[in-house]
């Protein structure tokens, strides 16, 4: 019997490399490898497409919340 079990390979989830450093992602911080990389990406996201204006410097002079 040439019993190579290559036929019974269980379909594992394709591991996504960490978008930040390219390391294998961890389950807890998927798709990142660590909390740190997750934070890095989060910060980038926040400061990029979703910039939050600083409320302290905000002047209530007819502000128009633009997207
Ligand atoms: Zn990483």
Provide the residue range defining the domain that includes 28: 15-47
CA of 48 from ligand 1 middle (Å) equals 19
In a domain, 41, yes or no: yes
- CA gap 31, 34 in Å, rounded: 9
64 belongs to a structural domain: no
Specify whether the CB–CB gap between 33 and 20 falls below 8 A: yes
Cβ atoms of 48 and 42 within 8 Å: the answer is no
In a domain, 62, yes or no: no
Q: What pTM value is reported for the model?
A: 0.49
Residue 53 belongs to a domain? no
In the chain, the number of structural domains is 1
Within a domain: residue 23? Answer: yes
Per-residue model confidence as pLDDT tens for the chain (67 residues): 555 656 676 666 667 899 999 999 999 999 999 999 999 998 988 887 655 556 665 556 666 667 6
Is 33 annotated in a binding site? The answer is yes
- 18 known member of a binding site: yes
Is 36 within the bounds of a domain? Answer: yes
């Amino acid at each position: 019997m040439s019993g190579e079990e290559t036929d019974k390979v269980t379909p594992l989830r394709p591991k996504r490399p960490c978008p930040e450093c390219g390391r294998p992602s961890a389950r807890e911080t998927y798709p990142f490898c660590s909390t740190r990389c997750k934070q890095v990406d989060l910060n980038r996201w926040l400061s990029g497409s979703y910039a939050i204006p600083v409320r302290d410097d905000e002047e209530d002079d007819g502000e128009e919340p633009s997207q």
